[in-house]
Structure 1
Amino acid sequence: MLVFRPSRLADLPAIEKIAAKSPVGVTSLPDNRERLYAKIEASVKSMEAEVNGNGEESYFFVLEDTCTGELVGTSGIVASAGYQEPFYNYRNETLIHASRELGVHSKIHVLSLCHDLTGNTLLTSFYIDEPYQYTEWSDLLSRARLLMIAAHPQRFGDAVVSEMVGLSDDHGNSPFWDGVGRLFFDIDYAQAELYCGIKGRSFIAELLPQHPIYVPLLPESAQEAIGQVHPTAMLPFEILINEGFETERYVDIFDGGCVVQARTANIRTIAEHRRYKTEIGLVAEDAPTYLIANRKLADYRATVGAVLVDEPSGKVRLSLALATALNVAEGDPIQICPL
């Protein structure tokens, strides 16, 4: 069984291996021991903190195979993007150029540097080993975060965003970065992403042009990359699109990948999840399968399993093995959502 749980410092060696495998562009999962240690430590402290609003807290989770103890994936939540530094993106906009005398009226696509999304809750750090991709386990790894938000809404914002990794080739070259960012920094895309993962993105954003960038003036390859998603990021992208997230408005400042966004209350998992009391007993093998999570914080657990829902009693029956994995006892509150 695979179980979604908060990371702990003892997970560091396994998380290092995952970070080394993650693709270029996942700056929230840097291949850097010191930064990963700080990321786990911040998550542990956030889980312990008394919180009544979305602030500097961040939550970092792992997907563990309980049979082997192996970690096969990670994902995270930042309670408030840009809490310590502005959360920069490019905003897609249209400027009108018109001349009555010449009879000219044209619409020009521009990118404007902004931090409109500062303060939104941010989904980050998604990675899952290949054998588990496009299965119920990848669904769990992404959506269990949303059940966490549903269980503790006071800790998160009214809107949720996530940056998708944009296009780059097998050598780590990004057409968007080469057409925009590299003109202002004598470093390649992979170096820029590494610096961002270690030092934050403000120092780069502050040196990018503050005036609108006219998209028709960019190289064709850079234009075509705007709003695109790298093949390795299609899985988390599709999960969030199915959750009701939307694209179009914002793109990443490094690779031009799309930024997806949704109002928290409108996200499918949050809107459709249901709360029950735990009942432990026998469950038929052909019983419906759900995403299941407890409603704890530091001891938060989620998994996928077969349960028996009894609406009149307000209870969900779990097998003993499932209840043990979720760290719940008879009568404990629990939440479920359809796959």
Structure 2
Amino acid sequence: MIIRPVAMTDLPALQQIAVESGPGFTSLVDDLDFLTRKVQRSMASFGRTVHSPGDEGYLFVLEDPETSEIMGTTGIEASVGLRRPLYHYHRSQVVHHSPDLNLLRRLEVLNMCNHYTGCSEICTLFLRPGFRRAQAGKLLSRVRFLFMAQHPQRFANTVIAEMRGVSDESGQSPFWNWLSEHFVDLDFDTVTRMVGTGDNGFIADLMPRHPLYVHLMAKNARAVIGQVHEETRPALNMLETEGFRHTGYVDPFDGGPTVEARLTDIRTVSASIGCRVQVVDGVEPALDKWHTGGQGRILAISNSGVENFRATITAAARYLPSRNLLQVPVTLANTLGLSNHGQARFTDLTTARTDRRPVAIPICQQQEALHAHR
């Protein structure tokens, strides 16, 4: 399995993924013109010299090198809300209190906001059903953090992920069904398609501007606020392991939670290791033969490139911590475009946590730039 930047030749596969992912997966829609623009924008973003996050969108694909089939996709938006507003509902409480009558009531409300404008977003994660195998989902999720750790100047200090909310087998969202009944006469499939293609002007025009009192909503709509689609739960679990947390912001269409983390607090970002490369004829991957401090049995490894970014998982590599050196066999080095004395970055996929911090390219040295870009 190889992760690489998307190319125009991937359009048919992306369109198939848009169909397979179904309603609610707004970052890919079954629209060839939209997908073409998305690929073109991604290719331009990878080819751009960037000193601070702007209107870049990075789309990666997971490829089976033996068949050249596209197994899935994953992406990063460098700075959301710049081209078009990014709306959320914030879940909070209001207090109605009358001292004279000695009455007090706390009520849950949803307030429309643009809280995450300027943040980076990880998005577009989908592993096709026919290609679901060990480590594939982990690689799709965590490769984004390897790329962000290697190129932190391209991203904001806060990273978010909008998780797909609850919908039924027919693709209907209980949350949106209640909103559409009272405010916006559009079905859920139409709304997600409009939002996915960038047509979200109706939100400011038609959505209620005042707080929504949750207790007035239908019971099935209330029940899904902040909940994720069943197929999204593994992805949410992985992000929570990385340090992402839900702070009360939900999608205005399906009520799904948005989770957030500081870039430097994301586990894979902080624990990934930038290192030198040594290309060798062969590597003995057995854990008990590694030097003390070896980083695990299965590694996700990437090169240090942007346009020519490549990443994969392997057990055929060995890290020598005393020398900050990653030994990589020739075939793997050729696949990833690695050379002797070059740079790579890796993270351990098999351990729950590692205390090792980046060596060759420490994230802590990027703090001044990151804070200046917020």
TM-score (norm 1): 0.97
1:134 to partner: Cα distance: 6.7
1:248 to partner: Cα distance: 3.5
Asked whether the 8 Å contact 2:84–2:198 carries over to 1, the reply is no
Deviations 1:115-157 (A, max 9, x none): 0001100111110022544731110101101111111111100
Asked whether the 8 Å contact 1:132–1:138 carries over to 2, the reply is no
1:202 to partner: Cα distance: 3.7
Over the aligned positions, Cα root-mean-square deviation in angstroms equals: 1.3
Q: How far, CA to CA, are the matches of 1:171 and 1:14 in structure 2?
A: 24
Q: How far, CA to CA, are the matches of 1:232 and 1:29 in structure 2?
A: 17
Instruction: Specify whether residues 200 and 263 from structure 1 end up closer, same or farther in structure 2 by C-alpha distance, changes over 3 A only.
Output: farther
1:235 to partner: Cα distance: 2.3
| Equivalence map 1:162-173=2 (5 Å) | 162-173=161-172
1:82 to partner: Cα distance: 0.6
Q: What is the aligned partner in structure 2 of residue 280 from structure 1? A: 279
Deviations 1:272-303 (A, max 9, x none): 00111111111124352111111110011111
| Equivalence map 1:212-251=2 (5 Å) | 212-251=211-250
Q: What is the aligned partner in structure 1 of residue 160 from structure 2? A: 161
| Equivalence map 1:134-153=2 (5 Å) | 135-153=134-152
Asked whether the 8 Å contact 1:278–1:331 carries over to 2, the reply is yes
| Equivalence map 1:112-127=2 (5 Å) | 112-127=111-126
Q: How far, CA to CA, are the matches of 2:181 and 2:303 in structure 1?
A: 46
Q: What is the aligned partner in structure 1 of residue 177 from structure 2? A: 178
Q: What is the aligned partner in structure 2 of residue 298 from structure 1? A: 307
Q: Gaps spanning 5+ residues in structure 2: where?
A: 288-296, 350-374
1:331 to partner: Cα distance: 1.3
Asked whether the 8 Å contact 1:75–1:142 carries over to 2, the reply is yes
| Equivalence map 1:102-117=2 (5 Å) | 102-117=101-116
Q: What is the aligned partner in structure 1 of residue 348 from structure 2? A: 338
Q: What is the aligned partner in structure 1 of residue 253 from structure 2? A: 254
Q: Is the partner of 1:304 in helix, strand or coil?
A: strand
Instruction: Specify whether residues 333 and 21 from structure 1 end up closer, same or farther in structure 2 by C-alpha distance, changes over 3 A only.
Output: same
Q: Alignment identity in percent?
A: 35
Asked whether the 8 Å contact 1:23–1:232 carries over to 2, the reply is no
Asked whether the 8 Å contact 1:205–1:253 carries over to 2, the reply is no
Instruction: Specify whether residues 256 and 134 from structure 1 end up closer, same or farther in structure 2 by C-alpha distance, changes over 3 A only.
Output: farther
2:343 partner amino acid = P
1:87 to partner: Cα distance: 0.9
Q: How far, CA to CA, are the matches of 1:200 and 1:283 in structure 2?
A: 52
Instruction: Specify whether residues 95 and 49 from structure 1 end up closer, same or farther in structure 2 by C-alpha distance, changes over 3 A only.
Output: same
Q: What is the aligned partner in structure 1 of residue 58 from structure 2? A: 59
Q: What is the aligned partner in structure 1 of residue 332 from structure 2? A: 322
Q: What is the aligned partner in structure 1 of residue 79 from structure 2? A: 80
Q: How far, CA to CA, are the matches of 2:34 and 2:286 in structure 1?
A: 44
Q: Is the partner of 1:180 in helix, strand or coil?
A: helix
1:196 partner amino acid = V
Q: Gaps spanning 5+ residues in structure 1: where?
A: none
Asked whether the 8 Å contact 1:97–1:106 carries over to 2, the reply is yes
Instruction: Specify whether residues 250 and 132 from structure 1 end up closer, same or farther in structure 2 by C-alpha distance, changes over 3 A only.
Output: same
1:201 to partner: Cα distance: 2.6
TM-score (norm 2): 0.88
Asked whether the 8 Å contact 1:134–1:235 carries over to 2, the reply is no
Q: What is the aligned partner in structure 2 of residue 289 from structure 1? A: 298
Instruction: Specify whether residues 331 and 182 from structure 1 end up closer, same or farther in structure 2 by C-alpha distance, changes over 3 A only.
Output: farther
Q: What is the aligned partner in structure 1 of residue 202 from structure 2? A: 203
